[in-house]
A and B are shown apart, each in its own frame.
Chain A
């Protein structure tokens, strides 16, 4: 089977969109943080925490949607920690972000061991099921890919639209963008830079956690260690690749996921069988680095990204 043939199968695109979904949530989350001027390196750990929290909530008897809410809330909690340290205290966003990732990951593992001390293989839940949207899902190729996914994937696409509209078409979005471009401008208009930035980091972290929850509640049906596996860091690269714009970030996530889906399929071809599987597993990370290199020349970074704002200075 050659590559073109793979690209023409509906199952390939269905897989690509599925792989893209958690990335879309988390990339949007990071994008919101960075648009407000805060780099959130807590993303990797927050995704781990979200994956566990959502799954655990459902395992404990909650419904699937309440489980998503639990994940979102847990993400917001870690976002609160991150934003208290980086916004009013103005501490290094690098150090705090890595610290939050370590804290979120370790407390998740601790909680997992407390909740399930004896198990060797984790129990499973009934995850979100694909929902075929009538008529649309019958369109060849893109029908199954776009309109026969789980509700959480639809939510990811809806979130892209919501984030884009809020950022560009509401006073709130204007204030968030201004906070990332020139916090002095926001303060001079009597708005609280701290409140805007903290709010953005919390909402963004909530979305990251939902991205993690997608893994345990839609893509798979149970939680295991290392399951996020660097996806958070990839999302940071996707934000740069998407030039801090929701629409482009969505395209980047799908493109990236398509490559990922492609490499999985090539692995199964006779050509792929001769190559060590690790080479294929490296591809997403290598692609991310390439994306950063390609975009480095023309990226439109928010002017005040990583610049703390201390009221009364200057």
Chain B
């Protein structure tokens, strides 16, 4: 078989493959649920209901989407420039760590001062963490996929060490968790009485800003050029190394905001289970969004919906929650094929 580019894909050509990818994902998930003894036709309904069916469910989905928007943006920004940042998980924890240190009473500042300070320093921490593999890539040509992955393991052990050591909450009954944040260090709720904090608003704002950077600034142009053709970018005079470093700083900073938002907004302290893999799931979010910063919002809601919905379905009919992870992995793999098929046709020879 051979792939032939399509000059002007029709609307059907553009929409059919992604729709088929989603449909196939749902069918596979239903069949897998059947293995667990569930009614396959009920699965999709239960997931949707669990994700969006009530005000409580919807808020839960929005809360879950918040860190995913940040990590999705981080990955989208990096992948656009072909910087394979698989380390959003560690960068998230770097941001969370900064909040846990500064927000638990170390800085007794008013909220208007404390929150921006923590956010900025969190971004710096995440940026620095990705700077190391980015420099190794630019200077020595060390593949960043493996280094960012390995740093995830190293950094989580580092957090574990701190939580059992200097950061351990004396009131924590021996659990490895940090002390609670002071009230000034907490992100307020968007609407009083509803369990949705300003981290979500910040995520939306971040998406718009990243979109503007990407589409309207020279940096965005440089990042896309470097990602699409490094040789041509270098020949044209685009400082490839510097662009990659800037990309890394932006990407690491965005991922760290996920940690900031989770600790200051939702949890109020740092634990080792702060993130159930938000950094890795960010890759799925970014790919489903076609690396588009605004698309990340929709993709994060979709992915968060599947997680929240699958949790609720699992409670209702006893299908293991890992079904959600299977659905997302399947959706990711089918979607990359689908996107290819919107632009190329398969020719049998």
Contact = CB atoms under 8 A, between A and B. Distances in A.
A and B touch in the complex (CB under 8 A): yes
Interface of A: 41, 81, 85, 88-92, 94-96, 98-100, 102-103, 105-107, 109-110, 113-114, 117, 229-230, 233-234, 236-237, 240, 276, 278-279, 281-282, 285-286, 288-289, 292-293, 296-297, 310-312
Contacts of B173: none
Interface in B130-164: 136, 140-143, 145-147, 149-151, 153-154, 157-158, 160-161, 164
Nearest to A235: B146
B326 A292 contact: no
B322 A311 contact: no
Contact of A276 (B140, B164, B340): B164
13 contacts: A106-B326, A110-B32, A236-B145, A237-B150, A240-B143, A278-B164, A279-B157, A282-B154, A285-B151, A289-B150, A289-B151, A292-B142, A296-B142
Contacts of B157: 278-279, 281-282
Given A107-B326, A110-B32, A293-B136, A91 B340 contact: yes
Contacts of A90: 3
Contacts, number: 127
B143 A292 contact: yes
A98 B1 contact: no
A190 to B, nearest CB: 14
B234 interface: no
Contacts of A285: 150-151, 153-154
Given A102-B325, A102-B332, A276-B161, A233 B149 contact: yes
Contacts of B326: 103, 106-107, 110
A92 B291 CA distance: 14
Contacts of B325: 102, 105-106, 109-110
A43 to B, nearest CB: 11
B303 to A, nearest CB: 12
Interface of B is mostly: helix
A297 B283 CA distance: 30
Given A99-B329, A106-B325, A278-B157, A89 B136 contact: no
Interface centre among A88, A89, A110, A293 (most CB of B within 10 A): A110
A44 B220 CA distance: 33
A297 B3 contact: no
Contacts of B313: none
A95 B146 contact: no
Given A114-B35, A288-B150, A278 B329 contact: no
Contacts of A310: 2-3
B336 A85 contact: yes
B347 to A, nearest CB: 9
A256 to B, nearest CB: 13
B333 interface: yes
B283 to A, nearest CB: 6
Given A292-B146, A311-B2, A311-B349, A286 B154 contact: yes
A280 to B, nearest CB: 9
